[in-house]
């Protein structure tokens, strides 16, 4: 029976690249999405066309009832869970902190932080040897923004990723003796649609010259590190925060 991985936000960008690579490496993949069913279905079709196993599962990771229903669907369909990639995340329009509304802050922290906690909670319940599970791995998507702070653009987003770093360090220690490894990747500027969603469609072009390697990264380059952290090749790696940022 294949190992099963849930990738939140697996419909587009880094999550989609990770879903496709994980399937090629032999995982059955649960492809979570929030709204874009067509994009999730496309990822699932590409995996199945290549002989892999995949399921699209809708859930807003910030909604507790939707998260628990998503894990129950995975239980029914695959009967096991071996890995979680907490990838779903959002930015917002460029703003200084003195212009941020409470509603904006709530949305940002609910999706990027609470969503990751809720999915990790459900995954630990299934994977921890303490709960009768067989162990597993979690990879959280942090960001170089956690180190840089994103002044004048989205300090709120950067702060959610700082929280993800701390979450990773703490959870890794909490479940290390229960067979679960927990790590984070901290991508720099990566070519995906997230920048346009925050109103900065040219952000990759604008930031690339500041990157020591002089270019943005690709979703596939991030996926390679995520899938490495999920697998046995990273058997002694836990609590790591891996920068994938071209030297930035």
User: Closest separation between CB of residue 218 and ligand NAP, Å?
Assistant: 10
Nearer residue to ligand NAP within complex by CB, 193 or 233 = 193
| Interface with ligand NAP, residue 6, by CB under 6 A | no
Size of the site for ligand NAP (CB under 6 A): 30
User: Closest separation between CB of residue 83 and ligand NAP, Å?
Assistant: 16
| Interface with ligand NAP, residue 89, by CB under 6 A | yes
N-term to C-term CA, the chain? 41
Instruction: Quickly count helices (H) and strands (E) in the chain.
Output: 10, 7
| Interface with ligand NAP, residue 141, by CB under 6 A | yes
User: Closest separation between CB of residue 92 and ligand NAP, Å?
Assistant: 11
Cα–Cα distance measured from residue 96 to residue 98, given in angstroms and rounded to the nearest whole number: 5
Cα–Cα distance measured from residue 212 to residue 170, given in angstroms and rounded to the nearest whole number: 31
Catalytic residue among 27, 33, 154, 157: 157
Q: What backbone phi and psi angles, to 5 degrees, belong to 139?
A: -120, 125
* 101 CB-contact burial (10 Å; exposed 0-12 / middle 13-18 / buried 19+): exposed
Residue 125: partners with Cβ closer than 8 Å, 6 or more residues away: 131, 133
Of 216-245, binders to ligand NAP (CB under 6 A) are: none
User: Closest separation between CB of residue 88 and ligand NAP, Å?
Assistant: 3
| Interface with ligand NAP, residue 167, by CB under 6 A | no
Catalytic residue numbers read 157
């Amino acid at each position: 029976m294949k190992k099963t991985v849930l990738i939140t936000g697996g419909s587009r960008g880094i999550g989609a690249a990770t879903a496709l690579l994980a399937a090629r490496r032999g995982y059955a993949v649960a492809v979570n999405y929030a709204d874009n069913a067509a994009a999730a279905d496309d990822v699932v079709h590409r995996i199945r066309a290549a002989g892999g196993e995949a399921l699209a599962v809708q859930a807003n990771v910030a909604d507790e009832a939707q998260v628990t229903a998503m894990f129950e669907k995975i239980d029914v369909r695959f009967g096991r869970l071996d890995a979680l990639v907490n990838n779903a995340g959002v930015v917002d329009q460029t703003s200084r902190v003195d212009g941020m509304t409470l509603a904006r802050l709530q949305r940002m922290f609910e999706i990027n932080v609470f969503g990751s906690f809720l999915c990790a909670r459900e995954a630990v319940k299934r994977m921890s040897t303490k709960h009768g599970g067989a162990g597993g791995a979690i990879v959280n998507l942090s960001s170089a923004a956690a180190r840089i702070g994103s002044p004048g653009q989205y300090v709120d987003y950067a702060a959610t990723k700082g929280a993800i770093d701390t979450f990773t360090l703490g959870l890794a220690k909490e479940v290390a003796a229960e067979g679960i490894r927990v790590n984070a990747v901290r991508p720099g500027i990566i070519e995906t649609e997230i920048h346009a969603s925050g109103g900065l469609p040219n952000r990759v072009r604008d930031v690339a010259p500041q990157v020591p390697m002089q270019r943005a990264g690709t979703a596939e380059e991030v996926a390679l590190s995520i899938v490495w952290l999920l697998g046995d090749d990273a058997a002694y790696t836990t609590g790591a925060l891996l920068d994938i940022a071209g030297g930035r």
